Amino acid sequence: MMHRELRNHIIGLLNADIRLDGRKLTEYRKPIEVEYGVVKTAEGSARVKIGETDVIVGVKLDVGEPYPDTPDEGTIIVGAELLPLSNPEFELGPPGIQAIELARVVDRGIRESKALDFKKLCITPSEKIWMVIIDICPINDAGNLFDAASLAALAALKDTKYPAFDGEKIDYKAKTDKKLGLEKMPIAVTVIKIGSKFIVDPDIEEEKAIDARLTVSSIEDGTLCAMQKGGDFPLSIEDIDKMLDIGIEKAKELRKYL
Amino acid sequence: MSKIIAKDKEIAVPGETLAKGMEVLPGIGTCRDGENIMANRLGLVMIEGRTIKLIPLSGRYIPKTGDTIICKVVDVSFNGWRLDTNSAYSAMLSMKDATSDFIARGANLTQYYDLGDYVVCKIVNVTSQKLIDVTMKGPGLRKLKGGRIIEVNPHKVPRIIGKQGSMVVMIKDATRCNIVVGQNGLIWIDGEPLNELLAIQTIRKIERESHLSGLTDKIKEFLEKNGGKLTG
Amino acid sequence: MAYKQRIDGRGFDETRPIEAKVGVIQRADGSAMFKIGNTWAYAAVYGPRNLHPKFLQDPQRGILRCNYNMMPFSSSGERVRPGGSRRSKEISLVTEKALLPVLDLEEFPNSVVDVFIELPQTEAGSRCAGICAASMALADAGLNMKDLVCAVSLGRVDDKLLIDLDYSEESYKDGPVADIPIAMMPNSSKVTLLQMDGEISKEELMELLEKSRKVLMDIYEVQKRALKEKYHEVEV
């Protein structure tokens, strides 16, 4: 354990109801900012800042063939690159397991909540569908990329407009006014367990010292749509109970920024 | 005729002409190019008599012999420890410089300094190839137990320490925290939770406002204003 | 039909609007943003830091490594596949060569200075924007440098010589086009990057090079101001 001392110190603080930077246990960093349409070359984009964490998500649309088992449904593809520009520990090269997990967690939140109606992405059944390609690019990783990327992905989808399509070719230069349209607003909140305490929105220091994390994605009415447990330590049923409560509660707060 | 173009206490960027003529002398961070004196890096212009120099404002720590630094143990080998110095180069702490205790051959070195431990040590030698030797023998040099580490701009360390340590002593007194400032920009702080936070806020304030005049008074005021809620 | 007027209405010697900011990525040792028209670049500098594997190390000085990358959604056409192309590798190389002459890394043997350039949005001139951002980021990282580096693209569209081509000009179909990215150390007027594709006479090229000095000095002023602004904010 390289971060034994740090973990002990954090636990000492958490027992006094305070975090390393003075925050309360379930308090997000401030300010939280959501900016739409930051990238003109994308069909939709958003930039989200949570404290010093800064993420850009861009959406490109393309036309492809549907999967044989869902001939009348479009699809989404989520990619994440942990750019070495954003964190001294990230390296160049193909996406590693961290990046893949991040992309998959964002993907599941959108897919399973049915935030997008895949049937509406169908152009000609069995032939042509819209593919919604969502790419996550962190600019500054100061912790909690999961929640920032999920929020930015949803905001970018909200911003997305179809390009002109004549049945054969896409004209990316000619944007239409037709929005992609979101059916649901899934928000991911990652709840962290350190010692016996639970926190949200970890900074870089806290991320080094976590025992376990649970990313909880929920929609407006509190229904859960995706989860992901991470970290090396197990969770008890009681832990999960508490973490879900925090996750659902905090999602309501984050949703207000959209 | 010589002429100083740059203004005292202004920011100069690399390549900027600071002065013309041979009577002005190039100091640290500047160089002569024919008649001209140019900035060789980004820095704060200081004019001292005929000499013009630049005070660095940014950049990573560069290890120097005699510096007291805070390091993290990143590897333990059979004859010593490798330490992360918060610079481009790691340092070697050999068994003979590690402790005044006798270490038996083949002893488990992690019982002295384990992976992830932070230590205050002193640089005894830096070679041209930047191999660094440090020692733990000397007043104040020790393993840091408990507390937390924060990172600051290493160029602001002299202001955080203050003249003869006056600034850091003031923070220690006001916050009742133990504080060790490493010249490599790592600072160790140990105290009651709210006191620690105030100490960190104060250090951040010094970091931000290090070139304002009357800094000591401003910091004193800041500590007095925010010290009311402290415990311990 | 001759090219009479630029599509966006600017003068032939005029760049698109420029915006620059230093210290935009807190985790980096130095960072900057440079925007010219719709082309938008970020640069982050990490280092000098430990270099692995060891055989890459130079015992005399630190080495510089640059990486240029377009974000997947940064092109107005199809999505750019992540992972780098031959084009981005070549641009990384010429960027490195454009920046190296101003840097003095003798103080840092065996180490590396990494420069990561990312483009969220592009519309021609991206390598030049990347170089402008990177040079500010290197200065912000407090490295020893004898100058900044300024870059812009020069060009020819039909019978006109012009500065800072945009996408519509690069892809002009009714006459010959030349696109000439150039980078310069502003205080010594020495050229550190020069590429060209298209067709142009030697005389026209020399005329363009002469013209470029004024524009590059204007870009230099923008870079200088952005650097001073960051530290001014901090100091005063």
pTM for the complete prediction? Answer: 0.95
Q: Which residues of C touch A (CB under 8 A)?
A: 24-28, 38, 42-44, 46, 49, 67, 69, 71-79, 82-83, 114, 116-118, 120-123
Sheet architecture: strand order including C30-36: C18-22, C30-36, C39-50, C111-121, C63-70
Domain spans, chain A? 4-255
Q: How far is A15 from chain B (nearest CA, A)?
A: 10
C-alpha distance from C27 to closest chain A C-alpha (Å): 6
In sequence order, the 6+-apart residues with CB closer than 8 A to the CB of A9 are A20, B146, B147, B148
For residue C98, the SS3 value is: helix
Reference B91, options B60, B138, B130; nearest CA is B130
Neighbours of chain A (3+ CB pairs under 8 A): B, C
Contact C114 A84 (CB under 8 A): yes
Q: Which pLDDT tens digits describe chain B residue by residue (232 residues)?
A: 678 898 888 999 999 999 999 999 999 999 999 999 999 999 999 999 999 999 999 999 999 999 999 999 999 998 899 999 999 999 999 999 988 888 887 788 888 999 999 999 999 999 999 999 999 999 999 999 989 999 999 999 999 999 999 999 999 999 999 999 999 999 999 999 999 999 999 999 999 988 777 899 999 999 999 875 555 4
Which domains does chain B possess? 3-56 (2.40.50.100), 68-144 (2.40.50.140), 148-229 (3.30.1370.10)
- CA end-to-end distance (rounded Å), chain C: 56
The predicted-structure confidence for A88-144, as pLDDT tens digits, reads as follows 999 999 999 999 999 999 999 999 999 999 999 999 999 999 999 999 999 999 999
Does the beta carbon of B197 lie under 8 angstroms from any beta carbon of chain A?
yes
Beta bridge partners of C100: none
> Is some CB atom of chain A closer than 8 A to the CB atom of B88?
no
B183 contacts: CB under 8 Å, gap ≥ 6: B61, B64, B67, B68, B69, B154, B157
CA dihedral C158, C160, C164, C168 (to 10 degrees): -30
- Residues whose CB is less than 8 angstroms from the CB of residue A50 and which lie 6 or more positions away in sequence, other chains included: A28, A29, A32, A144, A147, A148, A151, A201
* CATH architecture, range A4-255: 2-Layer Sandwich (3.30)
CB pair distance less than 8 Å for B197 and A22:
yes
Domains of chain C, each with CATH number or no CATH:
18-235 (3.30.230.70)
| CB-CB neighbors (< 8 A) of A78 in chain C | none
Q: What is the ipTM of this complex?
A: 0.94
A35 reaches C (C-beta below 8 A):
no
